[in-house]
């Protein structure tokens, strides 16, 4: 059956090692951990001992013990090399967070399901957040209740799996039991009373005859939004004057009673339904296997509040007041659908040869709708062209529109052979892959500029001094995409690989791999890997690996383009809106200034490590790694007018105030150390399982360059790449993560206590601020009532730790007085915490209870 045999083969392909039996073991208080036997050595603890590269095996119970409901957060809690950063008011990134490994980009980690390549999300992060300019995988599309374990390979693996595996590989193994099941429900909320989360799971295994199974999982998760916004301290209405003391005197009487909690800064509201099926059946001399995953998630996040005095975004009408007098908070509604299925057949021959052929299809779609907003320029259309009164405009103007849709799909056909000899294991095969990417335009109201034609305002002089004549185009908060930016592109990839593992002696295992990939876009590439593990004695192993790697430009980096509003910090340190165009390499504008086609990123990885046992009980692994990446694909700075005549003319024609481009523009160096130590012992009538894990990573941008022969070549690199762009790569993620967790089981009680330390990180956002290290405490207590029923209660971030208060890149700051000198409001800004990057978020303590029934 697929488990354990199929899982072992998938793991052997991942590592270029022989497929040997999987041993499941559970003793006393030990959590069930599947240990993969390689050349007779058994794995103990979380990391595989006898492999040349570090691999963490994270069991379903370990994931559950975190108390989290999202796979991304679960991984972050127990795998220190994994980061799942939060940001806010960053458009689609609010709903689909970037997941990173070893401090690199989201698109530099390959994700697999049951050993098969997983498709990426259709979203590309173009705003200012961790992973800017990249497209990763939606880690939360797979419900945790469907997962048997997660395997994290912390080493470059492009020579085995091709593009994206520069930082490592995450393999999600689905449940495969043929009987029994469980149902559980949990509820929790943050200490401030928001973010209410209900999570319901049902999982059941079914036998298919005597030699097959189908395992089904249903999940429903409903999460309310959180809000940690500060007060709106600036004037919302016209007529304010600045006093000698620096405060502001309110002019409009509505200023005195205006709503000051105008922003929504925190987690997006989210509701997800998911279905997962995993199956295998003995057929003929082999095994037919497959899986299906489906999830549908509705999200709602917020944009910047448009107040009354925002004449561009909230057009002033002929009665001298704004279109929406009390202002409005635009909402970004995203519908994310994710679907994949796999079908394969594997057969083992009598000569120790296996053949595995499979087909995998996956797609991710996102449909955006902007609500509670207006297209401010349409208010001018209604006034000047249609002659509507101010009251009629307010009653007529649409408040929502479909913005655009994204779709990314991946088709993969794999043919894999393995051949076993006495001391040699060979694996070789081929892969055919097709990537498809589409951008579907939104409604005209979502993107159109009603008061400008060819860059010339058509309503100049018509207001009579009362009202706006040139209001902002497109629906506010999240602009739509027009037909000119529609995309329908595809790409074919053909790959061949071979890898081998050889037992040189009883104590020395060596492996090597080579892979050839041919992309019909940029060309071909060949990569290599060699690795070894030396068994010094019973308690000490040395291991190491060296490899080359690559990452092909993603379809989103090649073809996404739009014009949207981004809030940027001006020279005075104030956040201001700017229409920024993201232009694809083959666009008219990019070609006009000579932007070249993207090529692949190239990497060199090497690692060296040790695995040793102390006192027959403590298992320790230490691994040092080095990752050098050349021609890294990055997004340029927002290049505005005045830099070159060619760029100026092209921007005017596009309707954007600034443009940004995808470029092979940086070389980076990453150095780091991973440490994992485990200890299992009996204690006071129970059993204790301790794990100490740490990751220390530093990434430096060692070179920046502009494309040779392009219109950007005459610009300085400081113009093309800002300090903020560099800091996102180097310092927006913690340079160290340390976790200490203990699982104590006694009688019917199961207690999990974990301390997670997030190291310093530094953000540039106008100014530069370093946010201090913090330690979060998680506690979960489970009580087993009988063989079927258990209850649990717990807290994540038990002591309500939050990041340092934000001192940079703030907005809506100020102190307002009334005519009598009384303070109406005084605020340092709405961003109490940095909205750009928050490794563990800024919501505070989360408390929950749960009930589980096993059958």
Q: Which two tokens stand for residue 791?
A: 């209850």
For residue 148, being part of any structural domain is answered with yes
For residue 186, being part of any structural domain is answered with no
Backbone angles phi, psi at 199, to 5 degrees: -130, 125
Q: How far is residue 787's CA from residue 849's CA, in Å, rounded to a whole number? A: 19
Judge residue 485's burial from the number of C-beta atoms within 10 Å of its C-beta, 0-12 exposed, 13-18 middle, 19 or more buried.
buried
Give the largest Cα separation in the chain, rounded.
Answer: 94
Give the CA radius of gyration of the chain.
Answer: 28
The pLDDT of residue 45: 32
**Residue 80 belongs to domain with CATH number:** 2.40.170.20
Please spell the DSSP secondary structure of 143-186, one letter per residue.
Answer: -GGGEEEEEEE-S--HHHH-TTTTSEEEEEEEP--SS-EEEEEE
For residue 809, being part of any structural domain is answered with no
Q: How far is residue 632's CA from residue 107's CA, in Å, rounded to a whole number? A: 11
The pLDDT of residue 576: 66
For residue 826, being part of any structural domain is answered with no
Q: How far is residue 9's CA from residue 23's CA, in Å, rounded to a whole number? A: 14
Count of domains observed in the chain: 1
The pLDDT of residue 18: 30
Inter-residue contact 233 to 826 (CB < 8 Å): yes
The pLDDT of residue 19: 30
For residue 827, being part of any structural domain is answered with no
The pLDDT of residue 14: 36
For residue 288, being part of any structural domain is answered with yes
Preceding amide of 121 cis, omega within 30? no
For residue 797, being part of any structural domain is answered with yes
The pLDDT of residue 823: 97
- pTM to 2 decimals? 0.92
- Partners of 23 in the β-ladder: 35
Q: How far is residue 158's CA from residue 550's CA, in Å, rounded to a whole number? A: 6
For residue 255, being part of any structural domain is answered with no
The pLDDT of residue 573: 58
Domain hosting residue 421, numbered range: 2-173+198-229+264-803+838-854
10-residue block means of pLDDT along the chain (855 residues)?
38 34 32 35 43 90 96 96 95 94 97 96 94 96 96 93 94 96 98 98 96 97 98 96 96 96 98 98 96 98 96 93 98 98 95 94 98 97 96 98 98 95 92 98 96 86 90 93 94 96 92 95 92 94 96 96 71 66 83 85 97 91 97 88 66 73 95 96 95 97 87 82 94 97 97 98 96 98 97 98 96 96 97 96 98 97
Judge residue 571's burial from the number of C-beta atoms within 10 Å of its C-beta, 0-12 exposed, 13-18 middle, 19 or more buried.
exposed
């Amino acid at each position: 059956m697929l488990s354990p045999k199929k899982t072992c083969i998938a793991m052997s392909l991942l590592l270029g090692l022989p497929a040997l039996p999987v041993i499941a073991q559970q003793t006393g208080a030990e959590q069930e951990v599947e240990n993969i036997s390689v050349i007779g050595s058994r794995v103990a603890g979380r990391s595989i001992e006898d492999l040349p590269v570090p691999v963490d095996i994270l069991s379903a119970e370990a994931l559950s013990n975190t108390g989290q409901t999202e796979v991304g957060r679960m991984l972050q809690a127990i795998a220190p090399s994994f980061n799942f950063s939060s940001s806010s008011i960053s458009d689609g990134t609010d709903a689909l967070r970037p997941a990173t490994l070893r401090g690199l980009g989201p698109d530099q980690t390959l994700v697999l399901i049951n050993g098969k390549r997983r498709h990426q999300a259709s979203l590309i992060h173009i705003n200012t957040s961790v992973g800017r300019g990249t497209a990763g995988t939606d880690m939360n599309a797979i419900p945790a209740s469907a997962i048997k374990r997660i395997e994290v390979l912390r080493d470059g693996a492009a020579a085995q799996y091709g593009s994206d595996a520069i930082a490592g590989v995450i393999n999600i193994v689905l449940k495969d039991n043929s009987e029994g099941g469980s149902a559980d429900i949990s509820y929790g909320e943050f200490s401030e009373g928001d973010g209410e989360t209900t999570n319901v799971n049902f999982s059941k295994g079914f036998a298919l005859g005597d030699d097959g199974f189908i395992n089904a999982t249903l999940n429903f998760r409903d999460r309310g939004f959180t809000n940690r916004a500060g007060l709106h301290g600036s004037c919302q209405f016209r007529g304010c004057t600045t006093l000698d003391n620096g405060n502001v005197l309110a002019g409009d009487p509505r200023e005195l009673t205006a709503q000051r909690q105008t922003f929504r800064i925190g987690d997006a509201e989210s509701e997800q339904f998911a279905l997962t099926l995993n199956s295998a059946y003995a057929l003929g001399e082999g095994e037919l296997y497959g899986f299906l995953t489906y999830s549908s998630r509705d999200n709602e996040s917020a944009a910047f509040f448009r107040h009354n005095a925002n004449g561009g975004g909230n057009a002033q009408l002929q009665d001298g007041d704004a279109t929406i007098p009390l202002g409005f908070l635009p909402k970004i509604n995203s519908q994310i659908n994710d679907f994949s299925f796999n079908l394969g057949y594997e057969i083992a021959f009598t000569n120790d040869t296996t053949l595995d052929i499979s087909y995998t299809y996956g797609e991710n779609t996102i449909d955006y709708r902007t609500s509670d907003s207006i297209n401010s320029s349409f208010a001018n259309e209604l006034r000047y062209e249609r002659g509507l009164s101010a009251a009629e405009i307010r009653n007529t103007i649409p408040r929502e529109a479909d913005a655009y849709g994204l779709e990314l799909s991946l088709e993969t056909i794999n043919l894999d052979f393995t051949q076993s000899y006495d001391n040699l294991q060979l694996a070789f095969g081929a892969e055919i892959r097709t990537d498809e990417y589409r951008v579907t335009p939104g409604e005209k109201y979502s993107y159109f500029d009603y008061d400008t034609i060819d860059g010339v305002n058509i309503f100049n002089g018509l207001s009579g001094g009362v009202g706006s004549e040139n209001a902002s185009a497109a629906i506010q908060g999240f602009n739509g995409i027009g037909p000119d930016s529609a995309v329908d592109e595809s790409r074919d990839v053909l790959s061949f690989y071979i890898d081998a593992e050889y037992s040189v002696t009883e104590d020395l295992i060596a492996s090597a791999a080579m892979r050839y990939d041919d992309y019909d876009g940029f060309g071909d590439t060949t990569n290599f890997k060699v690795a070894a593990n030396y068994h010094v004695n019973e308690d000490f192993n040395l291991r190491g690996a060296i490899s080359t790697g690559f990452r092909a430009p993603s379809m989103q980096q090649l073809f996404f383009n739009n014009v949207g509003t981004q809030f940027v910090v001006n020279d005075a340190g104030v956040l201001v809106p700017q229409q920024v165009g993201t232009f694809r390499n083959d666009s008219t504008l990019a070609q006009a200034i000579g932007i070249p086609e993207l090529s692949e990123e190239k990497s060199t990885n090497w690692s060296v490590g040790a695995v040793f046992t102390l006192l027959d009980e403590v298992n320790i692994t230490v691994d040092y790694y080095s990752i050098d990446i050349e021609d890294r694909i990055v997004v340029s700075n927002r290049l505005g007018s005045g830099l070159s005549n060619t760029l100026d003319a092209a921007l005017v024609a596009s309707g954007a105030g600034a443009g940004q481009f995808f470029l092979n523009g940086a070389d980076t160096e990453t150095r780091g150390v991973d440490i994992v130590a485990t200890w299992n012992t009996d204690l006071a009538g129970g059993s204790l399982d301790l794990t100490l894990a740490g990751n220390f990573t530093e990434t430096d941008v060692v070179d920046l360059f502009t494309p040779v022969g392009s219109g950007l070549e005459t610009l300085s690199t400081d113009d093309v790449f800002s300090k903020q762009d560099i800091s996102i790569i180097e310092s927006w993620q913690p340079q160290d993560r340390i976790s200490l967790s203990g699982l104590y089981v006694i009688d019917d009680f199961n207690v999990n206590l974990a301390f997670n330390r997030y190291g310093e990180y530094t953000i540039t956002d106008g100014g530069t601020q370093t946010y201090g290290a913090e330690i979060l405490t998680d506690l979960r207590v489970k009580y087993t009532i009988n063989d079927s029923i258990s209850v649990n209660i717990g807290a994540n971030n038990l002591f309500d730790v939050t990041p340092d208060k934000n001192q940079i890149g703030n907005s809506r700051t100020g102190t307002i007085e009334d005519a009598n000198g009384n303070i109406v409001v005084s605020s340092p800004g709405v961003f109490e915490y940095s909205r750009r990057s928050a490794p563990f978020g800024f919501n505070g303590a989360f408390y929950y209870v749960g009930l589980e029934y096993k059958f």
